[in-house]
Amino acid sequence: MNRTLFTKLVCAFILAGLFQFSQAAEESRPNILWIIIDDMSDNFSCYGEELIETPHVDQLAQEGALFRKAFVTAPVCSTNRSAFITGMYQTSIGAHHHRSGRGEMKIHLPDGIRPVPKIFQEAGYYTAITGWPNKSRDNLGKTDYNFEWDKAMYDGADWSEREKGQPFFAQIQLPGGKHRSGTIESTRRFTAQFEKLMGDKTNPADVTLPPYYPNDPVLQEDWAAYLDTVRYTDHFVGEIVQRLKDEGDYENTVVLFMTDHGISHARGKQFLYEEGLHVPLVIAGPGIEAGQTRNDLVEHIDIAALSLGLAGIDIPDYMQARDILSKDYKKRTTIYAARDRCDETVEHLRGLRTQRYKYIRNYLYQRPHMQPNRYKDGKDIVKALRAAHEAGTLNATQELLFNAPRPKEELYDLKNDPFEINNLAGEPKRRKQLETFRKRLDQWMEATNDHGPESQAMYDSDMAVYIKSKNVDPVQGKILTRNIATMKRWVAEGK
């Protein structure tokens, strides 16, 4: 054999080996699947809920890691989603006002910050986002980001469209607690459909409400229906897992299950109490030790960093999320959260939580907790609460929802007061502790470049979109206009 032919054969052999090695490396990278649920707290049986059973989420927890103390940094969907899709605090990127940047004035991410799907895409992953059930497999799922973004960061709705051997990063968005909607009529339509599918439904008489809600039949029926949305969600999780198994992807897919904030209720969604911030987080798949239960504090934005870490992709230095699965991860001692404008309702809350204590700062303390808000005031549960308040039938704990002015600061001992009822901020013996938390919160706000209240021009820009929305009928339009006028009047009055 002459030298030239021998050299060509050797080169061909080496190239073939490199190609096979590259292909094997590509196929060995895990798929990453996020299952993100709307409006749902940790009412799953693996988290201790006793009134219902959730076998599919429980099974994921048994096969992987269950995080008992996972918290959102923003208790409403668009701000939450803007945060976890970038791995950044929503207050740091100016995306902290709910449904903002929708009008003439836009919000752009700070220079250099990229959404997580874009990073996965650049690393060779197929990126997908969809809803469930999705029989046609072409329905893009919920995004709801408050900043401008390129739709091309998603390759499609279905990961099965990827190239052979190409790993995928996908999200499945489920309505979760939104299935029950806001009225008793819509709730009953859901429960009828659910009972037909599952064979039974949760009995409202069996429901035990948190002590800050009255045992009103409307609230009990709604909470029972909410628990059935949890069961419905669990049913869909079972279907998703089965699809992965049927298509041969399950063994190489990390499945991450999380909700975007807590239950939509008067003290839940939109607020910094446990009912609004505490969420389930379950992760299972290759690289995840089975049967783990983690009790350290984690933030929902961490799913950005840990997902990149599992895929072997460098985590950007700017990212505030942490890879909570890495060997060198240092556990948090404190988590932070913020709530700002939600729809037309202007609010400004900041808070932190340690393993034992919760500290909340109410900047607009002169305003009531139950500020006027078209979205929430349209719910029958809120109407029932307001009616009970006006009738004088609420006890002192339940009246916390309506107290005005609110305290400037709130401090709760979660070990002895898990429902956050007894505010300790005014007790002299808590002064040093309060000062510590004040300083810690101020330092976090400064270090993370908290953008604070939005400008009047931005508010007006987004409110113009709200008022002109096709989903707003004349009656709702009047409510919106009245609420917007109230917000502006309170600002003028210094509230």
Which distant-in-sequence residues (6+ apart) come within 8 Å of 43 by Cβ? 49, 52, 226, 227, 230, 263
Query: Mean pLDDT across the stretch 128-144?
Result: 85
pLDDT number for residue 136 = 65
pLDDT surpassing 80 at residue 386: yes
Contact 347, 466 (CB under 8 A): no
Which residue has 């870490």 as its token pair?
309
pLDDT at 489 over 80: yes
What is the pLDDT confidence band of residue 85, given thresholds at 50, 70 and 90? very high
Phi, psi of 174 (to 5 degrees): -115, 145
Angle 212-214-220 from CA coordinates, rounded to 5°:
110
pLDDT band at residue 133 under the 50/70/90 scheme? confident
Give the three-state DSSP class for 471. Answer: coil
Q: Where along the chain do its domains lie?
A: 28-492
Cα of 262 vs its chain's centroid, Å: 8
Q: Is residue 486 pLDDT above 60, yes or no?
A: yes
Handedness of CA 352, 357, 358, 363 (dihedral sign): negative
* C-alpha span between 312 and 325 (Å, rounded): 12
Predicted confidence band of residue 134 (pLDDT cuts 50, 70, 90): confident
Q: How far apart are CA 307 and CA 94, in angstroms?
A: 24
Query: pTM for this one?
Result: 0.93
Can you give the pLDDT at residue 8?
53
Taking only the tens place, the pLDDT of each residue in 225-268 is: 999 999 999 999 999 999 999 999 999 999 999 999 999 999 99
Q: What is the rounded CA–CA span in Å between residue 369 and residue 367?
A: 7
DSSP H or E segment with residue 198: helix 184-198
Contact 127, 114 (CB under 8 A): no
At residue 4 the predicted structure's pLDDT band, cuts being 50, 70 and 90, is low
Q: Directed axis angle between helix 217-246 and helix 380-391, to 10°?
A: 160
Token digits of residue 188: 């009953």
Report d(CA 324, CA 331) in Å as an integer. 8
Q: Is 79 helix (H, G, I), strand (E, B) or coil?
A: helix
Task: Please provide the average confidence, as pLDDT, over all residues in the chain.
Answer: 94
Return phi, psi of residue 324, to 5°: -75, -5
pLDDT band at 294, cuts 50/70/90? very high
Cis peptide, bond prior to residue 110, ω within 30 of zero: no
User: First-to-last CA distance in the chain?
Assistant: 91
**Is 3.40.720.10 the CATH number for 28-492?**
yes
Residue appearing with tokens 């006006």: 390
**pLDDT tens, 168-216?**
999 999 999 999 999 999 999 999 999 999 999 999 999 999 999 999 9
State the burial class of residue 290 (Cβ atoms within 10 Å of its Cβ: 0-12, 13-18, 19+).
exposed
**Whole-number pLDDT of residue 255:** 98
List, as one string, the DSSP characters of 111-135: TT---HHHHHHHTT-EEEEEESS-T
Say whether pLDDT at 166 is over 90: yes
Residue 414, CB-side half-sphere exposure with 13 Å CA sphere: 14
Which of 134-138, 175-179, 462-466 is the least confident region?
Answer: 134-138
Confidence of residue 128 (pLDDT cuts 50, 70, 90): very high
Structure tokens at 114: 């990229």
pLDDT digits (tens, 9 = 90+) for 276-290: 999 999 999 999 999
57 with 40: CB under 8 angstroms? no
* Structure confidence by residue, pLDDT tens digits, 403-436: 999 999 999 999 999 999 999 999 999 999 999 9
- CA-nearest of 107, 66, 103, 67 to 88 is 107
Gap between the Cα atoms of 388 and 397, Å rounded: 13
For residues 324 and 98, the answer to whether their CB atoms sit within 8 Å is no
Mark 271-283 as b/e (b = at least 16 C-beta within 10 Å).
Answer: bbbbbbbbbbbbb
The predicted model gives 291-314 an average pLDDT of 98
User: Has residue 137 got a pLDDT over 90?
Assistant: no
Position 65: which residue type? Answer: A
With a cut of 70, say whether residue 305 has pLDDT above it.
Answer: yes
Q: What is the Cβ-side half-sphere exposure of residue 279, based on CA atoms within 13 angstroms?
A: 35
Quickly state the pLDDT bin for 23 (edges 50, 70, 90): very low
* Per-residue pLDDT at 247: 96
SS3 297: strand
For helices 456-468 and 474-492, angle between their N-to-C axes, nearest 10 degrees: 170
The more confident residue out of 372 and 6 is: 372
The pLDDT value recorded for residue 18 is 39
C-beta pairs of 198-207 under 8 Å, 24+ apart in sequence: 198/228, 198/231, 198/232, 198/235, 201/225, 201/228, 202/51, 202/52, 202/227, 202/228, 202/231, 206/51, 207/51
Write the pLDDT tens digit of every residue in 322-336.
Answer: 999 999 999 999 999
